[in-house]
């Protein structure tokens, strides 16, 4: 089971003011916020961009580690989590986009768009693709 909720550190920037947001599991996900209240939103955006970048570059998406003292948990948007889950499942199963398209009885272009972070894909479609690969999505509200 994969969860797309990562620990972030919000560090006060004493020199320039505001806060620096960083993720130890995703070093490329770093951003700033003017206030502590804006940190969670900025953090989610940076995390989303990092995961999308890893999908586009064909890289691994690290498993989220447990939060340490002083860290706060940040979740990616649901659609990004679903696309990341599909991407990781395909990698684990050795499935190409062409094979995914064949299994879903769709055109390869549609399968490619399902993994494109910048293309809106309905959650139901992503859930169906996961189901065809033997997985399912669970949503938790905290």
Q: What is the pLDDT of residue 18?
A: 93
The mean pLDDT of 1-17, rounded to a whole number, is 91
Residue in the structure block whose two tokens are 């033997």: 134
Sheet with 71-75, side-by-side order of all strands:
30-33, 19-23, 5-12, 71-75
The per-residue b/e assignment along 20-51, b for 16 or more CB within 10 angstroms, e otherwise, is bbbbeebeebebebeeeebbbebbbbbbbbbb
> Which of the 8 DSSP states describes residue 38?
G
The pLDDT tens digits of the residues spanning 17-60 come to 899 999 999 999 999 999 999 999 999 999 999 999 999 999 99
Residue pLDDT, tens place only, 105-134:
999 999 999 999 999 999 999 999 999 999
| CATH dotted code for 5-75 | 3.30.160.250
Q: What are the residue boundaries of the structural domains of the chain, listed by start?
A: 5-75, 78-132
Parallel, antiparallel, or unpaired: how do β-strands 71-75 and 30-33 relate? unpaired
What's residue 22's pLDDT?
A: 97
Token pair listed for 87 = 């991407």
Confidence (pLDDT) at 16: 81
């Amino acid at each position: 089971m994969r969860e797309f909720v990562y620990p972030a550190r919000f560090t006060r920037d004493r020199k320039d003011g505001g806060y620096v947001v960083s993720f130890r599991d995703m070093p490329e996900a770093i951003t700033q916020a003017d206030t502590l209240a804006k940190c969670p939103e900025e953090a989610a955006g940076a995390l989303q961009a990092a995961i999308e970048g890893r999908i586009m570059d064909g890289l691994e998406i690290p498993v989220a580690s447990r939060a340490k003292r002083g860290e706060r948990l940040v979740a990616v948007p649901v659609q990004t989590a679903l696309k990341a889950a599909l991407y990781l499942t395909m990698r684990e199963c050795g499935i190409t986009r062409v094979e995914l398209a064949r299994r879903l009885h769709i055109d390869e272009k549609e399968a490619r768009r399902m993994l494109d972070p910048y293309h809106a894909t309905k959650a139901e479609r992503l859930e169906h693709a996961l189901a065809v690969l033997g997985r399912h999505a669970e949503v938790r509200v905290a």
